[in-house]
Amino acid sequence: MSSKLEQLQALVAPVVEALGYECWGIEFLSQGRHSLLRIYIDHADGILIDDCEKVSRQISGVLDVEDPISAEYTLEVSSPGMDRPLFTLAQFASHVGEQVKIKLRSPFEGRRNFQGLLRGVEEEDVVVQVDDHEFLLPIDMIDKANIIPRFD
């Protein structure tokens, strides 16, 4: 995790948790002069727009005081949704048996994109079965990972 993400996580997670939600993950997309800070929140009862608004107001106040992002940015608070992103080894472990789509920061065994069955977690690796082959993907190489929703 980059130092900017770690700094944002340290500021945001306690605020989210104090409001009674789980801080599922944070994305910070720096896009030149304008950036996007996306915070995913979760709760056992689900997330409604009012929940996102409440968390957004609290986080805005903290970010205004602490000022961790010097450039202009948009704050977005969201539910992880059905195609929930996965950020941590614990999150991968809790979704074993699901279909996942993973994009790596750099090629691994000649490829960056993997789509298949999440088989588990081994130490610092995520185990994904694509067709008849199992790949052990190092967590620190994963750029983006999402659950592929099932509609059955």
Q: Per residue in 59-69, pLDDT tens?
A: 999 999 998 88
Read off the pTM: 0.90
Inter-residue contact 92 to 127 (CB < 8 Å):
no
Share of the chain above pLDDT 90, in %: 84
What are the extents of the domains in the chain? 1-76, 83-145
DSSP-assigned letter for residue 121: E
The fold of 1-76 is: GMP Synthetase; Chain A, domain 3 (3.30.300)
CATH of domain 83-145: 2.30.30.100
DSSP 60-106: HHHHHHH----SEEEEEEE---TT-B--SHHHHHTTTTSEEEEEEEE
Cα angle for residues 16, 17, 22 (degrees, 5° grid): 85
- When pLDDT is cut at 50, 70 and 90, the band that residue 122 belongs to is very high
Domains 1-76 and 83-145 share a fold: no
- When pLDDT is cut at 50, 70 and 90, the band that residue 135 belongs to is very high
